[in-house]
Amino acid sequence: MIKKILTILSIIFLAALIFTSCLHRDVPEKETQHQNTSSLEETRPEEIPPYKIVEIGGVEYLQSRGETGKPGGTFYSSMIGEGPKTFNYWNSKDATSSSIAGTMFEGLFITDPYSGKVIPRLAKSYSVDKTGKVYTVTLRKGLKWSDDKEITADDVLFTFNTIIKGGYGDTSARDVMLVDGKMPAAEKVDKYTIKFTTPKPFAPFLRMLGFPIAPKHKLEPVTKKGIAEFNQYWGVTTAPKDFVVSGMFKLKEYVPAQRVILEKNPNFAMTDKLNQKLPYLDTYVIYIVGDLNNQILKFEANEIDYLNVRGNQVARFKQKEKASNYKMYNLGAGDGTTFITFNLNRRKNDKGQYYVDPVKQKWFNDINFRRAVDYAIDRDFIVSNILEGVGSPLFTAEGLSSIFLDKELAKGHPRDLNYARELLKKSGFYYDKKGNLYDKEGHLVEFTMLTNAGNTERESVGVMVKEDLKELGMKVNFKPIEFNVLVGKITGAMDWDAIILGLTGSSLEPNNGANVWRSDGTLHMFNLRQGKDALNKADLRPWEAQIDDIFLKGALELDFNKRKAIYDQYQQIAYEQQPFIYLYTPLNIVAIRKHLGNINPTPLGGPVHNLEEIYIK
């Protein structure tokens, strides 16, 4: 009998323990912000002048900007996922394939990871004429493919006129280069000079010239066989010796689901200040790991040389840093954004039913409602508790790392529940005795908020936002659902109320967000138009039309300061209208082994942007 009672008591005790821990997660206690990143000063790179060009034996080499190192050795990194789908850069649609192929092929220009400016790479120099439409680009002389054929204007022309214009491989390159539906024209002036003409002045164009140049002598015969043949060419089963590259590394070995090994390309035309050829590294090994946990284990087991450290791991890694062989860097805010958005869609679907319940439509389309939500959310609390301090509150449509950020707006505003309640009352919302919120027609304010399940960070953010809005009297049913289902709802069924989601941004080019902001964009999720709705612009809100204009103007303006002024306007409108209520941006924190030299991580380039200069001490 006593034994029985003891068993029951211990079960109750265990159950109580479990329940209390659940409670703790659902209703987080407000505590002061912990400052575990305070010791991690943000890395601010000094501006370094662009590469010098030095001529050695008729070849124009780029001279590196870092300290002088010594050749040899191997650098180990890793990537999460299934590994590359192809080594054909021009056919790569996923980030993994692009980034590996990106070390094998060079473009005419790159974005300087220190300053964000566009600087020459394969190119030696460029000029833009007065109309802003004609770009004349000169190549460096004596550059060679890895099979000793010279890199000339013909390769550039082939890349732009045949591959991109011809619709070979990944057509998104063509999509972003179209100006008014037309591709810029490329003409050969002489063996080393190419003239590009855009239909209109098009600001993002120079950055697009960073697109890797393809070896004409290898790929032209393939393009002649047709698109299908091209899309199979240089796939993952191709023998490494068949590749002809211009970049610092060349494929040595690919073992599916295990690793990619790249080796030094002896024809890479870059030197250090002592005229030693770059890259210093003999081999570059990229492990393919299935998930984040395995990546962390591999770093701890010393198998890989650097790791992007996520929020909840930062404190632990920081603690171990002193006794370890790595150093941590804080690269500042990333370019991703996390936000809540409400469905502003007022249309009906094919069956004549509203996508969104008309009662809810009125709330969501009420600017006071959206602003009240904005003011009710405690961003600092989210950052300190969920990101453990490794992030910043976000208020603007441009990410915090964007060179187009409106810094005034980015300061945001403090949380103010009273103001939020005032805003709601202005629109006729009222409270009952229990503090529940009703609209002026007497409907209880209750809606569903979705996010993708499995992303524990977003799930916790959802719980917090739900609690914050409860204080406003709103009843939020928070439901994490499968990622694919969520995307289906956003882009297809459109039958959602509110969503917490994140998008990757671009720190350098606001026009890359055009698909989100333009009213005809495929990701204009808060008021997505599809099929016949896409043509009917009658229900366009005035501010949506304004943003459409701004994106049109912004792409055509070449002067940075004027462009910035234009994009400031859209941030202003987004801030006032709150189609997306931005929440936070995580910080980029990396841990890198100390035995590596020339490690100069920058917010724009990441930890290993200068791979050619990195050496083993």
Q: x/- site string to another protein, residues 93 to 122, per CB under 8 A?
A: xx----------------------------
Cβ-based nearer residue to another protein, 187 or 303: 303
377: three-class secondary structure by DSSP: coil
Q: x/- site string to another protein, residues 288 to 327, per CB under 8 A?
A: -xx---x--xx-xxxx------------------------
* Least Å from the CB of residue 513 to another protein: 6
Question: Restricting to residues 220-249, which ones interact with another protein according to CB under 8 A?
Answer: 231, 235-237
**Cβ atoms within 10 Å, residue 105:** 23
SS (H, E, C) 264-323: ECCCCCEECCCCCECCCCCEEEEEEECCHHHHHHHHHCCCCCEEEECHHHHHHHHHHHCC
SS (H, E, C) 81-122: CCCCCECCHHHCCCHHHHHHHHHHCCECEEECCCCCCEEECC
134: three-class secondary structure by DSSP: strand
* Least Å from the CB of residue 335 to another protein: 11
Q: Does 536 bind another protein (CB under 8 A)?
A: no
For 374, residues 6+ apart whose C-beta sits below 8 A from its C-beta are: 420, 578, 581
For 90, residues 6+ apart whose C-beta sits below 8 A from its C-beta are: 159, 163, 164, 168, 169, 170, 173, 212, 214, 219, 230
For 151, residues 6+ apart whose C-beta sits below 8 A from its C-beta are: 122, 139, 143, 144, 145, 213, 215, 246
Cβ-based nearer residue to another protein, 53 or 503: 503
**Cβ atoms within 10 Å, residue 184:** 22
Q: Which two tokens stand for residue 426?
A: 């202005």
242-268 burial, b for 16+ CB within 10 Å, e for fewer?
ebbbbbbbbbbebeeeebbbbbbbebb
* Least Å from the CB of residue 481 to another protein: 9
Cβ-based nearer residue to another protein, 131 or 522: 522
Q: Does 428 bind another protein (CB under 8 A)?
A: no
* Least Å from the CB of residue 249 to another protein: 14
Q: Does 257 bind another protein (CB under 8 A)?
A: yes
How far is residue 273 from each of residues 60, 300, 389, measured CA to CA in Å? 14, 35, 41
- Give the strand pairing for 337-342 and 596-597: unpaired
Residue 31 has, within 13 A of its CA and on its CB side, a CA count of 11
514-529 burial, b for 16+ CB within 10 Å, e for fewer?
bebbbbebeebbbbbb
With residue 187 as reference, give the H or E element that holds it. strand 185-190
The binder of another protein chosen from 119, 261, 574, 616 (CB under 8 A): 261
Window of 272-280, 413-421, 502-510, 576-584 that interacts with another protein by CB under 8 A: 502-510
- CA neighbor of 457 nearest in space, from 292, 581, 345: 292
* Least Å from the CB of residue 293 to another protein: 9
Window of 144-152, 243-251, 383-391, 477-485 that interacts with another protein by CB under 8 A: 477-485
Q: x/- site string to another protein, residues 264 to 293, per CB under 8 A?
A: -------------------x-x-x-xx---
Q: Does 516 bind another protein (CB under 8 A)?
A: yes
The binder of another protein chosen from 32, 418, 484, 561 (CB under 8 A): 484
For 286, residues 6+ apart whose C-beta sits below 8 A from its C-beta are: 77, 78, 79, 100, 259, 260, 261, 262
The binder of another protein chosen from 6, 487, 545, 552 (CB under 8 A): 487
Q: How many chain residues bind another protein (CB under 8 A)?
A: 55
Q: How far apart are the C-alpha atoms of 403 and 226, rounded to whole Å?
A: 41
- CA neighbor of 587 nearest in space, from 215, 334, 268, 374: 334
Q: Which two tokens stand for residue 416?
A: 């103010």
Cβ-based nearer residue to another protein, 94 or 380: 94
The binder of another protein chosen from 60, 85, 324, 459 (CB under 8 A): 85
Window of 156-164, 345-353, 498-506, 565-573 that interacts with another protein by CB under 8 A: 498-506
Q: How far apart are the C-alpha atoms of 512 and 507, rounded to whole Å?
A: 10
Cβ-based nearer residue to another protein, 56 or 485: 485
* Least Å from the CB of residue 336 to another protein: 11
Cβ-based nearer residue to another protein, 53 or 222: 222
Q: How far apart are the C-alpha atoms of 174 and 183, rounded to whole Å?
A: 7
Q: Does 77 bind another protein (CB under 8 A)?
A: no
Cβ-based nearer residue to another protein, 281 or 437: 281
Question: Restricting to residues 167-206, which ones interact with another protein according to CB under 8 A?
Answer: 170-172, 175-176
Q: Does 491 bind another protein (CB under 8 A)?
A: yes
* Least Å from the CB of residue 94 to another protein: 7
The binder of another protein chosen from 488, 559, 562, 576 (CB under 8 A): 488
Window of 206-214, 218-226, 343-351, 480-488 that interacts with another protein by CB under 8 A: 480-488
Q: Does 477 bind another protein (CB under 8 A)?
A: no
* Least Å from the CB of residue 363 to another protein: 26
Question: Restricting to residues 115-154, which ones interact with another protein according to CB under 8 A?
Answer: none
What DSSP character marks residue 163? I
59: three-class secondary structure by DSSP: strand
Cβ-based nearer residue to another protein, 420 or 528: 528
Sheet holding 249-255: strands in order across?
74-80, 283-289, 259-264, 249-255
* Least Å from the CB of residue 502 to another protein: 9
* Least Å from the CB of residue 233 to another protein: 12
Is the CA virtual torsion 546, 513, 50, 145 positive or negative?
Answer: negative
Cβ-based nearer residue to another protein, 199 or 412: 199
Q: How far apart are the C-alpha atoms of 67 and 359, rounded to whole Å?
A: 65
* Least Å from the CB of residue 258 to another protein: 5
The contact set with another protein (CB under 8 A) reads 74, 76, 82, 85-86, 91, 93-94, 170-172, 175-176, 231, 235-237, 253, 255-259, 261, 283, 285, 287, 289-290, 294, 297-298, 300-303, 482-485, 487-488, 490-492, 503-505, 512-516, 522-523
